[in-house]
């Protein structure tokens, strides 16, 4: 099957006739736990049939594609974010290919995001870019809420990780889950595209100051893309730093 940049997919048929997808990746057991957490929240995700250190076997969901599913996506993401953790983070680390995602637990959101989503990239950045990211990370206690509700996040929520079947969302896939400020997923969802107004109507109103925080939260996936795919994403990183005042 067609896969992403960081894993391969094989379609199979089980003895009972069910269709399934076999996926390799950096940590199939961790991904299986994330998919189960998404399903437990009431948001759609493929059922996990089996997982070990080498591969994940999951339900093959209908995905004929469609337009007009923005309202259903808003409802799905709202259900996901309604699941709340006790702290910020996740119980194990993860990775996007060679880019490590350090998690652990924290009781301070601004400190968590500064250290484990921005400052973690500093050793891998060109010095002038690193200085700007470092300055922004240092300023986050005054820019981000210290204690927003620790919502369950998808962690890599963009259009390519949303399966659509008619006017509904059949599944959220390829997660990088942790607990954090719900706006992280919302900012990511508008980085490489923009859902229609019916998404926000179904999801719920924006928190005060959301627009000012969007470039900060979008910087995390932009830095990941810069490290994974190279200098073509430097302009995006610089644009977001400027928008964030760094």
How is the chain split into domains, by residue range? Answer: 63-244
Q: What is the pLDDT of residues 200-223, one digit of tens each?
A: 999 999 999 999 999 999 999 999
H-type alpha helices, 95-157: 109-113, 127-139
Q: What is the pLDDT of residues 115-131, one digit of tens each?
A: 999 999 999 999 999 99
Q: How many CB atoms lie within 10 A of CB 11?
A: 10
pLDDT at 224 over 70: yes
Q: Are 137 and 114 in contact (CB under 8 A)?
A: yes
| pLDDT score of 131 | 98
- How far, in Å, CA of 170 to CA of 73, rounded? 9
CATH class of residue range 63-244: alpha beta
pTM across the whole model: 0.95
Q: What is the pLDDT of residues 77-101, one digit of tens each?
A: 999 999 999 999 999 999 998 999 9
Catalytic residue among 72, 156, 174, 185: 156
Q: What is the pLDDT of residues 140-181, one digit of tens each?
A: 999 999 899 999 999 999 999 999 998 899 999 999 999 999
Considering only CA atoms, give the Rg of the chain. 18
| pLDDT score of 4 | 64
Q: Which whole-number Å values give the CA distances from 110 to 6, 72, 103, 195, in the listed order?
A: 29, 30, 14, 27
Q: Which two tokens stand for residue 197?
A: 């107004």
pLDDT at 132 over 80: yes
Task: Establish whether 93 is a catalytic residue.
Answer: no
């Amino acid at each position: 099957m067609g896969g992403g940049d960081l894993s391969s997919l094989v379609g199979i048929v089980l003895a009972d006739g069910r269709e399934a997808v076999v996926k390799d990746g950096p940590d199939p057991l961790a991904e299986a736990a994330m998919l189960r957490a998404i399903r437990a929240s009431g948001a759609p995700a493929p059922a996990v049939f089996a997982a070990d250190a080498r591969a994940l076997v999951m339900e093959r969901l209908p995905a004929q594609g469609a337009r007009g599913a923005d309202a259903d996506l808003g409802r799905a993401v709202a259900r996901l974010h309604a699941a709340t953790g006790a702290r910020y983070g996740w119980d194990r680390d993860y990775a996007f290919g060679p880019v490590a995602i350090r998690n652990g637990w924290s009781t301070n959101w601004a400190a968590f995001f500064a250290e484990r989503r921005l400052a973690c990239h500093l050793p891998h950045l060109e010095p002038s870019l690193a200085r700007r990211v470092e300055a922004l990370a240092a300023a986050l206690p005054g820019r981000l809420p210290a204690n927003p509700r620790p919502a369950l996040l998808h962690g890599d929520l963009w259009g390519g990780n949303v399966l659509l079947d008619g006017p509904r969302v059949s599944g959220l896939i390829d997660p990088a889950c942790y607990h954090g400020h719900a706006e992280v997923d919302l900012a990511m969802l508008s980085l490489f595209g923009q859902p229609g107004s019916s998404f926000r109507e179904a999801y719920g109103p924006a928190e005060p100051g959301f627009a000012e925080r969007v470039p900060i939260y979008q910087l995390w996936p932009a830095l990941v893309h810069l490290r994974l795919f190279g200098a073509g994403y430097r302009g995006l990183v610089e644009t977001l730093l400027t928008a964030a005042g760094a």
